[in-house]
Amino acid sequence: MGYPLFKFEISADAVAWYAAIVSTLAMLILLYGALRDRGRIKINYQKDMQVLGHHPDYDPNKTYVNITVINKGRRPVNITKAGVRVLGAKRKYALLNDSFSTQRNRVLTEAEPTTEFMMEQDEALFGNAWFICVYDATGKVYRKYLHPLLPIWMLYRRLTGKTNMPETTSRTNQV
């Protein structure tokens, strides 16, 4: 009988290292998939918007604030309402008009990831606004801060006695 030409041995240390590397990679892939498979909401806003053409809900002579809600995740998110947190007012929250429209529940999916809310621009309201908040059907609140340095602005308002916060500059294209 002949003996084999080569002999192949694997040590226990090599098997342990191989198992540790493969299991770590598998855990990272599963963690990435789990984090990717959730709803991630991004909120953008634009001031000084006008409606062109004829729309029954909006006056073309008024300026509006357009709030866009984007789902950057894979899981569908049902947006129920949007509002603004106001500082220095009796009522601290203001809901947007479009939250009460017939299209109240807006489901953001991968196929349709965006929805928009419009409200008439009120400088007294947006001058004192701290953040825009969007609510989903589960009660989770997503926020977009309009003034990230709020404690400094609040201190400035208290020291100077001003009632309105300084306006943020917005870029508009003029024709």
Q: Mean pLDDT lowest for which of 18-27, 119-128, 150-159?
A: 150-159
Q: Which residue has the higher pLDDT, 92 or 142?
A: 142
DSSP code at position 99: G
CA distances in angstroms from 133 to 3, 85, 136, listed in the order given: 77, 7, 10
The answer to whether 50 and 60 have CB atoms below 8 angstroms apart is yes
In this predicted structure, what is the pLDDT of residue 110? Answer: 82
Average pLDDT of span 4-13: 80
Average pLDDT of span 34-43: 85
At 66, give phi and psi (nearest 5°): -105, 120
Span 50-108, pLDDT tens digits: 888 887 778 888 888 888 999 988 889 988 888 888 877 777 887 877 776 666 668 88
Q: Which domains, ranges and CATH numbers included, belong to the chain?
A: 41-160 (2.60.40)
Beta strands in the chain (DSSP E): 41-49, 64-71, 77-86, 93-95, 106-108, 114-120, 129-136, 141-145
Span 78-91, pLDDT tens digits: 888 888 888 777 77
Q: What is the mean pLDDT of the chain?
A: 80
Percent of the chain with pLDDT over 90: 18
The answer to whether 166 and 174 have CB atoms below 8 angstroms apart is no
In this predicted structure, what is the pLDDT of residue 172? Answer: 40
Q: Mean pLDDT lowest for which of 3-12, 26-35, 43-52?
A: 3-12
